[in-house]
Amino acid sequence: MISEIISSRRAVYPAQYNSDPISKEEIQAILEAANWAPTHRRTEPWRFKVLQGDAKKKLAGFLAKTYKEKGENFSEVKYRKYQENPLKAACIIAICMQRDPSESIPEWEEIASTAMAVQNMWLMASTMRIGSYWGSPGVIKYMNEFFEMEDGERCLGFFYMGKYNGELPEGHRKTPISEKTTWL
């Protein structure tokens, strides 16, 4: 049931991934789920760039170098994460948003549609026992120096994926929905 899939979805981080590969067919199924996200005026603003193999190494190098050169409040621990986390993932998908050239809808709606596409990816990956999480590092604003981007396209983060062993913890929320809802 969909409510069980939604409530059992968890963030699974690179440190939890094992070395099992993710097939092209699995990635394609995850991306196909993304493509069915709601989209106002059918702008379908989501764009994805799939990184595997050497592309992950290049990304790790770029992230670490950019953080060292342009990042704020340098931390050696964070620098090492930029170097190591991309290599721990079986696949990384750069989450990008292509702004409607005619700006027929507010930008936030296109960002929201892209986020819904990522939620679809996350739910699909969860049903396939592929761990994932969406990370948006501070250096994300420099990704146009790494990727070829179209006019009006920007990177919103990375969807890290990897297979994992064992069970994930049970979820919880700080407050029930009743405390976040007003009935009129």
The 10s digit of each residue's pLDDT in 12-58 is: 999 999 999 999 999 999 999 999 999 989 999 999 999 999 999 99
135 has binding-site annotation: yes
Kindly state the percentage of the chain with pLDDT values over 90: 95
Domains of the chain: 12-49+90-163 (3.40.109.10)
H or E segment and range at residue 76:
helix 76-88
Could you tell me the pLDDT band of residue 71, with boundaries at 50, 70 and 90? Answer: confident
Average pLDDT over residues 152-165: 97
Residue 72, pLDDT > 90, answer no
36 has binding-site annotation: no
Q: Reduce the DSSP state of residue 109 to 3 states and report it.
A: helix
| Interatomic CA distance for residues 57 and 59, integer angstroms | 5
pTM of the model: 0.94
Residue 32 confidence (pLDDT): 98
134 has binding-site annotation: yes
183 has binding-site annotation: no
Based on DSSP, count helices (H) and strands (E) in the chain, helices before strands: 5, 4
The 10s digit of each residue's pLDDT in 75-132 is: 999 999 999 999 999 999 999 999 999 999 999 999 999 999 999 999 999 999 999 9
Q: What is the rounded radius of gyration, in angstroms, for the C-alpha atoms of the chain?
A: 17
